[in-house]
Amino acid sequence: MIKVWILAARPKTLVAGIAPVILGTMLAMADGVVTWWTLPCLLICGSLIQIASNFINDLEDFRKGADTHRVGPIRAVTSGLITPQSMRQASILVVAAAFILGQPLVYHAGWPVLGIGTLSLIASWAYTGGPYPLAYRGLGDVFAFVFFGVIAVVGTYFVHASIWSLDALLLSIGPGCLAANILGVNNLRDIPTDAAVGKRTLAVRIGAQRARLLYTVLMMLGLTLPSIVLYPGRGPWLFLPLICLPVGIVSSVLVWRRSGAALNAVLGLTAALYMMYTITMSLALGLSLLR
């Protein structure tokens, strides 16, 4: 049963909850304002928010009939591995755990952190639940960019420093674009099945070719733009993440050449590239102290 819940948590997607926390923390370290005891709590809360989003997505897609003919990894509720009631209870439990475990961060950095955390938890439900599910209205990619990019990085930096940072906002472009691409590949793969059940993702709305173009553009912007805009103030080490470009080019080529279930491998490559980018950018921010 534990394996089933691990499957439902979708471990490969957790990079979207962990990576921006690491990047925001490394930026805080480079600025000399890091508060290390908050990092474990930030990582746990970021992961729990991602898991909550996955659980709720699993449940709500089942209720809407969106997972009936999947070409991607199986979904726990639709496949009958977990009952809808159990998934609903687990979702509530994970949301509650994230809220409770986030309170030390609220105590440390103040009420803005409570607002950020609450908004993130509400968004994890609104992504596929509620009267206006974002994923069904073509707003899922925007959700990924904003919450797993901008809010996660900027919010993490604020927890450490108790101040807002323009550099944190600029840094968030990378994880935001890459998180949107993880979702984008998933939605590109599922265009036929999503369209059949009325799930109007951005990929369904703009079509497969434009979805591929969007993936390529976001890939290039995510891997290069933060380095370019942060370089003047932080030095040449900020170009270190550009070593990820060959992998990004390969993944972009594969997106144009593959469709359907064949995109599952590209989804895994995109997540691996996100991890590679996180490691290289974190290293670049640390080395920027040597100037």
**pLDDT one digit per residue (tens) for the chain, 291 residues:** 789 999 899 887 888 899 999 999 999 999 999 999 999 999 999 999 999 999 999 999 888 876 665 566 677 898 889 999 999 999 999 999 999 999 999 999 999 999 999 999 999 899 888 888 998 999 999 999 999 999 999 999 999 999 999 999 999 999 999 999 999 999 999 999 889 888 899 999 999 999 999 999 999 999 999 999 999 999 999 999 999 999 999 999 999 999 999 999 999 999 999 999 999 999 999 999 986
So what's the pLDDT on residue 192? 92
pTM score of the predicted model: 0.93
Predicted pLDDT of residue 41: 96
pLDDT of residue 67: 62
CB 21 within 8 A of CB 280: no
How high is the pLDDT of residue 114?
95
The domain total for the chain is 1
Helices (H), 102-242: 103-109, 111-126, 140-145, 151-161, 166-171, 173-189, 191-196, 202-206, 208-234
Percent of residues, the chain, with pLDDT higher than 70:
97
What pLDDT is attached to residue 155?
97
- Cα distances from 185 to residues 123, 234, 238, 277, 287, in angstroms, run 21, 33, 27, 18, 33
pLDDT digits over 262-291, tens only? 999 999 999 999 999 999 999 999 999 986
Res 198: pLDDT: 85
pLDDT of 233: 94
> How far is the C-alpha of 260 from the C-alpha of 193, rounded, in Å?
10
Instruction: Residue 115: give its domain's CATH number.
Output: 1.10.600
CA-closest candidate to residue 225, choices 211, 210, 245: 245
Structural domain range at position 236: 2-290
Rounded CA separation 38/104 (Å): 8
